[in-house]
Amino acid sequence: MTQARKRYLAWAVVALLTGALAVAAAGCGGGGKSSKSKPTSGQASIGKGEGALNLIEWPYYSDPKFAKKFEQRSGCKIHRKDAGSSNQMVSLMRTGGGGGGGQWDLVSASGDASLRLIRGGDVKPVNINLIPSWNDFIPIFKSPAHNTVDGKHYGVSLQWGPNVLLYNATKIKPGPTSWAALYDPKYKGQITIPNNPIQIADAAFYLQHSQPDLGIKDPYELNKKQFDATIALLKNQRKLVKLYWNYDTDGRAAFANGDVSLGAIWPVDTLALQAKGVPVKEVIPAVGATGWADTWMLAKKAPHPNCAYLWMKYVTTPQVEAQQALIFGETPVNPKACPFMNKIEAGSCAKYHLNEPLNYYNTIKFWKTPIPDCGGGKNDCMNYNAWQTAWTQVTG
């Protein structure tokens, strides 16, 4: 290749790159309108189904065991997209110009994603009067802070579960009874922790009881001083952690393969491991636990709103709540599901704490997205961005 031709080629590449940059800048800049939602109180009645329903869901949240019947009755054919994490749900909902771009109808968001979706204008209010079972819900799940803002319901609560302390009973004797075990150097290299910024709340919850002088009232509302103390604790914990699991099935595999013997995980994993004969036991320490609560949230540009309402109505009925709870290993928000659970599996209602008195729920600190405004009008709490940055600093 001659020198001149080489130079010509170089200029051509530069010209192409500049052109592409200009096109991209113009294209992206032009569409820069932020989508703020104007909340409305939702539709007045449920019309005829549109024939299809597009869900972003946790795996098994529209299990054919109960979804088939819905499809036959309503004529709404379900198209599902399984999500692996709350972050994935939020980004799926946000692509396509906000609100999922008219592709999705419902998302089964957990409490660490729901406020982000509401604030981002990705979801719209639901007329709760169209969901009859809502009146039967355990009171704290009717209008919880993670899905209800200014009295507007951005979805309907579904199921919940605690984050439990799991341990291998043959390797850890005696079994731990406190969350302190997860911060105990004795168990160095045997611990697994979820790889999720909301996990900071677990450490804060532990400090709330072990260091009362920090004055932590709510593990999701942390001021700078409380937050720094929590992060310092987590940085020490990192030295003990073998694996930060991304999917609970990874944490499960680490327990099954003997790589870890202690960790924070979900009841569904306890059940799966015990079914495989792994000698694990779960414990919820006396002070309580953090927990997740899921909500079917209605996408702002939902293309099939009637099918979406029909689905929310269907999955909150006692029979379906019971079925889903036992398929996934979680607890319904509708206490009328109790006898149906026991019918499927004797004693399962008590096993999943659905028969507990109302004050039991004071010991479960449900996930919610941290925001600066945590009462007192001071706006001095650390927001979720700060949580995520700090989590990267701890684990990265």
Partner 1 sequence: MTQLVEAGASLRSARLRLSAALWRRPWLKLALLLAAPVLVFAVVYLGALASLFVSAFWQIDSFTAAVVHKWTLDNFRTLWHDHTYWRITGRTIGLAAAVTVTDAVLAFPLAYFMARIAPPRWRALLFVAVLLPLWSSYLVRIYAWRTILAKNGALNWVLNGIGLPDAGLAYTNTAMWIVFSYVWLPFMVLPVYAALERIPDNYLEASQDLGAKGSRTLRSVILPLAIPGIVAGSIFTFSLTLGDFITPALVGGAGSSFIGNIVEDKVGQPDIPFAAAFATVPVVVMGIYLLIARRLGAFEAV
Instruction: Please report, as ranges, the residues that interact with partner 1 according to CB under 8 A.
Output: 16-17, 19-21, 23-25, 27-29, 32, 34-36, 85, 87-88, 90-91, 94, 98, 116, 119-121, 238, 241-244, 246, 250, 253-254, 257-259, 371, 383, 385, 388-389, 392-393, 395-396
CA atoms within 13 A on the CB side of 64: 0
Q: Which is nearer to partner 1, 93 or 216 (CB)?
A: 93
Question: How many C-beta atoms surround the C-beta of residue 312 within 10 A?
Answer: 24
Which residue, 179 or 387, has its beta carbon nearer to partner 1? 387
Q: How far apart are CA 381 and CA 25, in angstroms?
A: 36
Q: For residue 162, with 0-12 CB atoms within 10 Å meaning exposed, 13-18 middle and 19 or more buried, which class applies?
A: buried
Cβ distance to partner 1 smaller for residue 4 or 286 = 4
Residue 149 three-state SS: strand
Tell me how far, at minimum, the Cβ of 98 lies from partner 1, in Å.
7
CB of 337 to partner 1, least distance (A): 32
Residue with tokens 């009755």: 73
What φ, ψ does residue 331 adopt, rounded to 5°?
-115, 130
Minimum distance between the CB of residue 52 and partner 1, rounded to whole angstroms?
Answer: 26
Q: What angle do CA 150, 151, 155 make, to 5 degrees?
A: 105
CA distance 247 to 195: 8
Q: How far is the CB of 287 from partner 1 (least distance, A)?
A: 25
d(CA 396, CA 391) in angstroms, rounded, equals 8
Q: Which two tokens stand for residue 289?
A: 């636990």
Smallest gap from Cβ 240 to partner 1, in A, equals 8
Radius of gyration of the chain (CA): 24
Q: Which is nearer to partner 1, 120 or 291 (CB)?
A: 120
Measured from the CB atom, the residue of 233 and 307 that comes closer to partner 1 is 233
Which one, 120 or 161, has the nearer CB to partner 1? 120
Beta carbon nearer to partner 1, 254 or 273 = 254
CB of 296 to partner 1, least distance (A): 21
C-beta of residue 241 within 8 angstroms of C-beta of residue 192:
yes
- Which CB, 199 or 324, lies closer to partner 1? 199
Buried b (16+ CB within 10 A) or exposed e, 177-215: ebbebbbeeebeebbbbbbbbbbbbbbbbbbbeeeeeee
Q: Least distance (Å) from partner 1 to the CB of residue 119? A: 5
Task: Give how far Cα 49 sits from Cα of 53, 138, 269, Å.
Answer: 9, 29, 36
Residues 326 and 345: their CA atoms lie apart, in Å, by 8
Amino acid of residue 281: K
Q: In the complex with partner 1, which residue's Cβ is closer, 94 or 304?
A: 94
Whole-number minimum distance, CB 22 to partner 1, in Å?
A: 8
Task: Supply the minimum distance, in Å, between the C-beta of residue 394 and partner 1.
Answer: 9
